[in-house]
Amino acid sequence: MIIFNTTHTEKADLKEMNRLIGKSFSFFDKLRIGGVGSSRLIIHSVSQNFQSIVNKVSDLSYANIELRPKGIILHITNQLKRFSWVIPYYKLVIFNGEYFSIHSDGSFIQMIKSGNSNINKKFIDKMIDLKNLSNEKFEFVDDY
């Protein structure tokens, strides 16, 4: 699990993010794809290792997702701080049940499905398509 404090992005952190999941899409790719950022998502619950990052008081915690060529960045906002969870597509697991949740390496963040769920559904479908395209690049060996 790779989490960066991106309140003030360090060049070394940015370089590591780019190495793991690729550089941001170009302006024209963003237009072609139809945007690479989700709307603001309300966090419902998180795994134990995220407890120190999300708000402990009655304030709501928010997240948004940024698509990259080889993975996603899940940005978590906590008051004036911003944390970024970098997940390569091959480690990304998505559940869309009562809540929408992102899982990777035994950690998860569960988000509330809000009134703009149609917009979020289009974004989730786009994220799944990019994940599938990324997985097509891997060669799988049959165990016969």
Q: For 35-77, what is each residue's pLDDT tens digit?
A: 899 888 888 889 988 888 886 666 778 899 999 999 999 999 8
Is residue 142 situated within a structural domain? no
Write down the pLDDT at residue 40: 87
Write down the pLDDT at residue 55: 65
The domain total for the chain is 1
Is residue 35 situated within a structural domain? yes
67 forms bridges with which residues in the sheet? 72
pLDDT at 135 over 60: yes
Q: List the alpha helices (DSSP H) in the chain.
A: 11-21, 27-33, 117-135
Give the CATH number for residue 70: 2.30.29
CA distance 91 to 88: 6
Is residue 84 situated within a structural domain? yes
Angle at 127 between CA 121 and CA 30, to 5 degrees: 105
Structure tokens at 58: 């009655």
Structure tokens at 138: 């891997």
pTM of the model: 0.87
Task: Give the amino acid at 11.
Answer: K
Is residue 141 situated within a structural domain? no
Domain that holds residue 84: 2-131
Is residue 28 situated within a structural domain? yes
**pLDDT tens digits for 6-28?**
888 788 888 999 999 999 999 99
Is residue 108 situated within a structural domain? yes
Is residue 137 situated within a structural domain? no
